Structure 1
Amino acid sequence: MLKVQEIRELIKLVDQSSIDEFVYEIDGSKIQMKKNSQTTIVSQLASVPQAANAAVQSVPAAQPVPTAHVQEAAPEPVKATVNEPAAVQSNLHKITSPMVGTFYASPTPDADNYVKAGDRVSKDSIVCIVEAMKLFNEIEAEVDGEIVEILVKNGQLVEYGQPLFLVKPE
């Protein structure tokens, strides 16, 4: 099984390359990465049973809509268009997810959240956890400033590079 650092390196390499899709299988584990360069994400879930996991298809906008296929492997997060808040200003820093995983706002379910809107943070303050492959990765603020907005919900699946927080730098 690959280590988290190895997966991060693969993500960087795929991101910097000209390939659009990368699949790696070893010992029953599968890693699949897709880039969305100049494609439209379309999903058609009408005839898929609810118990099955539907995979999202990436297709060029000019092509017809494909039907979704059922995948037996681990569920993939459904990609959705996120409407950026009207108050987003260019001077705000985005704290992004360094990996694909599950966002957790607190260290345990019964504990208080690491941060909330209006809290002051330093660049080494822990703002959340992203869990990937049973590893809980603490995410730091990266800048000194004030949390303006939390862009994801507790327990939500997040993508590599997805904005998690908006911070007004000091």
Structure 2
Amino acid sequence: MDIKEIQNLIKFVAKSGASEVKLEMEDIKITIRTGSGYTEETYVQQAPVQQSAPQTVVNSTTQPFLESAAPVFKNTDNSANYITIKSPIIGTFYRKSAPDKPNFVEVDSEINAGDVVCVIEAMKLFNEIESEISGKVVRILVDNASPVEFDQPLFLVDPS
């Protein structure tokens, strides 16, 4: 089994929605796990001949599309009780819907629950991220057109 076949297998498992797949053949063992961290881990180990062969780890990141709004958590670092709006997906962060449009929010903008605060592009899909809280945007933590990770803080909001 060559690397191209392994990559195709990873893509197939990611699309299938399976959480774990194990494949054992005469000379190779492969385990593919997908989970809440949105990563796939593939462990490829050649069957031992007379001594144990080294283990190779192939990591591939998937970018599933989630329709839920950004999770909201209390920011424990800040004593002012700000709430952090975090990224629900991996992708590219945009502050506006198009280059010629205004930003969704600015520092000191008042937002309500359900207001779109940004867009995150993942796999050519533009996902509008809505606020789950009302308040005033205190800080924007990500630069426009920057890559973001799952659960990365995007905004600090003062709910009072």
RMSD (Å) for aligned C-alpha atoms: 2.6
Correspondence for 1:32:
61
* Equivalent residue for 1:22, pick from 19, 37, 40: 40
Could you give the per-residue CA deviations for residues 9-59 of structure 1, whole angstroms, max 9, x where no partner exists? x552x48xxxxx7336xxxxx8437xxxxxxxxxxxxxxxxxxxxxxxxxx
Structure 1's 23 and 149: CA in aligned 2 closer, same or farther, altered over 3 A?
same
Distance 2:119 2:81 in 1: 25
Alignment of 1:1-170 (within 5 A): 10-12=34-36, 14=37, 22-23=40-41, 31-32=60-61, 88-89=78-79, 91-170=81-160
Could you give the per-residue CA deviations for residues 96-152 of structure 1, whole angstroms, max 9, x where no partner exists? 000110000000011100000001101100000000000100001110100000000
Which has the larger Rg?
2
Distance 1:149 1:97 in 2: 15
Distance 2:35 2:96 in 1: 26
Which one-letter code corresponds to 1:158 in the other structure?
A: V
Distance 2:85 2:121 in 1: 16
Larger strand share, 1 or 2: 2
Distance 1:116 1:23 in 2: 38
Give 5+ residue unaligned stretches, structure 2: 1-10, 18-33, 43-58, 63-76
Distance 1:121 1:139 in 2: 13
TM-score (norm 2): 0.56
Identity %: 41
Structure 1's 11 and 124: CA in aligned 2 closer, same or farther, altered over 3 A?
farther
Shift >3 Å, 4+ stretches: 87-90
Q: How many equivalent pairs are there?
A: 101
Structure 1's 100 and 11: CA in aligned 2 closer, same or farther, altered over 3 A?
farther
Structure 1's 139 and 11: CA in aligned 2 closer, same or farther, altered over 3 A?
farther
Which one-letter code corresponds to 1:23 in the other structure?
A: E
TM-score (norm 1): 0.53
